[in-house]
Amino acid sequence: MSPRTRSIVLAIAAGLALADASIVTLALPEVLVQLDTSVEGVAAVIGVYALVLAVALVPVERLQRTHGAPLVGAAGMALFGLASLLCGVAGSVVLLLVGRALQAVGGAATLIAVFALLEDGHGADRAHAKRLWLGAAVLSAAVGPALGGALTQAFDWRAIFLFQTPVALAAAWVCRTTPTRDPAVLAADDDAPGPRWAAQPTVALALVSAALTAVLFLLVLLLVAGWSVDPLRAALTVSVLPAAALVGSRIGGDATHRAAAGSLLIGAGTLALAFLPDDRLLWTVAPQVLAGLGMGLALPALGGELLPERTGRDAAWLLTTRHVGIFAIIAVLGSITATRLEDATQRARERGVAVALDARLPPQQKVSLAPALLGSVDAADPRGALLEALDRERASLDPEDLPEYDRMASRVDETLIAAVGESFDVAFLVTGGLAVLAALVLAPKAPPPSVRTGALLGVTLVVTAAAPALYAREQDDRRPTPIALLDPCTAERQLPGSGGLSGFVQDRALEALDTSACELGSSREELVLALADPQDADRFEERYGRRPSAGNIITSLLFGG
């Protein structure tokens, strides 16, 4: 096997280890459902990998100095492959997390060994190897979600892990048979004096890595779990990011200026994601282009230029810094987003019930329709459950009621989309702010820019301010009119007034529903959900101290009992 071919195989192994922090993101909704876990649980699937990798990198680098890169790398790749197999057959989230932790240990050994082996080349081969390492370091995390989404769509979420096993085992054989210098000689090279690490670029790298997690994790979660986009379409959508990162990595200039400009572009793209006007995937393209360009500018400038990447020890600290940032932001924002998504889903259910109750549909049909549509909606896949219920209930309606039903369905759907988007906005705003903060951290170190660089930085500043502002204006223009949940004791509702005997019964039923809700101290929407769903009834009883009965007069009136 030629040296260049070996280098390519080793770079693929390193790219796989780096991509594994994000490769599973498009499969998380399926993991959530099949393994019966929560949003926090699926966030841990990424967080555990990032944390263990960050902890293991420096100790593994010391081990590699003693035993050599071929042995340590082969052992790490073999462990990574077997741990991937364990993840692929896991029947519980606990076993999956154990597999992910073992993957991370193997991934740490893989990365340190591959760096050492690629650095051990000479002349043109070494230059080629350096480019491969840089490509793996910059692009792999961005490519991960697209690759994982394609595998999930074609097969199953388990395929993401199972396909890695033969790749890792093959790379282990290549690594073990790669010739290298004596470990003692390499260790002496690592101990040679070199550039010192600086605090500001280190902090900036951690902040940028945390911000990019919003694009690599939160955006994917919004697409698949929030908007119910199928994994392949989501994979194609997020493929914009690595393409833009590749373009950004080709832009030259002073390292500090590139890192600062890249951080600002990441911030602009991430902040714009907080103001997505609606669920059309096209709206996500421009923010991803900005974040991808920023990624391609900032990561190479920070890792390898402003921060040294001359030795295995340098590489270990660089990768540790990146993954500490990833883990920290997932640990903080994972639970916040999960709570906000659950709250937003509940609000959307209640607002959807309000829309259904006010629709001009037959009274008994629509009051039973409201909980049938919204009762199955939960935070695991809110829109997917809603769309399935809308299709199911539509088949039971008379043809003359379908136009009104379709208007109601569209209103309920857009209400849910807006609510889901609101649950992610804080996370996008926080991570976008972190990227802008990274640019501010770097600013004191920046030398005076040239005319060309100054113009580039000026454009970057304008884009950073303009992109979120334009998206916020579009969101405000396109946002559906909020549905108010009125106080049933004082509400002066405009009743459907559809006429005839059925219309009269409908209006009286809605008035009686308000009266009953007023007596219980709840909204009418909460009451309808509680009458139809045991979990909502439990929530109702916990909040109001009474469990609504299906045997009272109001229930008989509403449900025809």
Of 462, 485, 508, the residue at which a domain comes to its end is: 485
Residue 52 and residue 113 in one domain: yes
Residue 480 and residue 525 in one domain: no
Residue 475 and residue 546 in one domain: no
In the block, residue with structure tokens 């002496």:
188
Q: What is the pLDDT along the chain (561 residues), one digit of tens a residue?
A: 677 788 888 888 888 888 887 788 777 777 877 887 777 777 788 889 999 999 999 999 999 888 888 899 999 999 999 999 999 999 888 999 999 999 999 999 999 998 888 876 544 466 666 778 777 776 777 777 778 878 888 888 899 999 999 999 999 998 888 877 555 555 555 555 555 668 889 999 999 999 988 777 788 878 877 788 887 788 788 888 888 988 988 888 888 999 999 999 999 999 999 999 988 999 999 999 999 999 999 998 998 788 877 788 888 888 899 889 888 888 887 777 777 877 877 888 888 888 887 777 776 666 667 667 766 666 567 777 788 888 888 887 888 888 888 888 888 888 888 888 888 888 899 999 999 999 999 988 788 888 777 887 888 889 989 999 999 999 988 887 778 788 888 877 665 555 555 556 666 667 777 888 888 888 888 888 887 778 888 888 888 888 876 554 444 444 443
In a domain, 405, yes or no: no
The whole-number pLDDT of residue 190 equals 53
Of 116, 145, 180, the residue at which a domain comes to its end is: 180
Residue 153 and residue 222 in one domain: no
Cα 224 to Cα 384: distance, rounded to the nearest angstrom:
9
Residue 480 and residue 530 in one domain: no
CATH of residue 336: 1.20.1250
Instruction: Output the CA angle 25-89-379, nearest 5 degrees.
Output: 40
The whole-number pLDDT of residue 297 equals 92
Residue 142 and residue 223 in one domain: no
Residue 164 and residue 310 in one domain: no
Cα 195 to Cα 305: distance, rounded to the nearest angstrom:
10
In a domain, 88, yes or no: yes
In a domain, 209, yes or no: yes
Range of the domain at 229: 198-344+424-485
Q: Are the C-beta atoms of 63 and 140 separated by less than 8 Å?
A: no
Cα 513 to Cα 506: distance, rounded to the nearest angstrom:
10
In a domain, 185, yes or no: no
Cα 432 to Cα 467: distance, rounded to the nearest angstrom:
12
In a domain, 502, yes or no: yes
Please count the structural domains in the chain: 3
Query: 103: exposed, middle or buried (C-beta count within 10 Å: 0-12, 13-18, 19+)?
Result: buried
CATH of residue 122: 1.20.1250.20
Of 485, 514, 537, the residue at which a domain comes to its end is: 485
C-alpha distances in Å from residue 558, one per residue of 237, 363, 505, 527, 552: 45, 8, 9, 12, 10
Residue 159 and residue 26 in one domain: yes
The whole-number pLDDT of residue 374 equals 66
Cα 501 to Cα 168: distance, rounded to the nearest angstrom:
72
In a domain, 525, yes or no: yes
Residue 147 and residue 204 in one domain: no
Residue 493 and residue 480 in one domain: no
In a domain, 155, yes or no: yes
Q: Are the C-beta atoms of 369 and 409 separated by less than 8 Å?
A: no
pTM exceeds 0.85:
no
In a domain, 506, yes or no: yes
Residue 115 and residue 216 in one domain: no
DSSP H helix total and E strand total for the chain: 24, 0
Cα 409 to Cα 388: distance, rounded to the nearest angstrom:
11
Residue 174 and residue 131 in one domain: yes
Cα 46 to Cα 64: distance, rounded to the nearest angstrom:
26
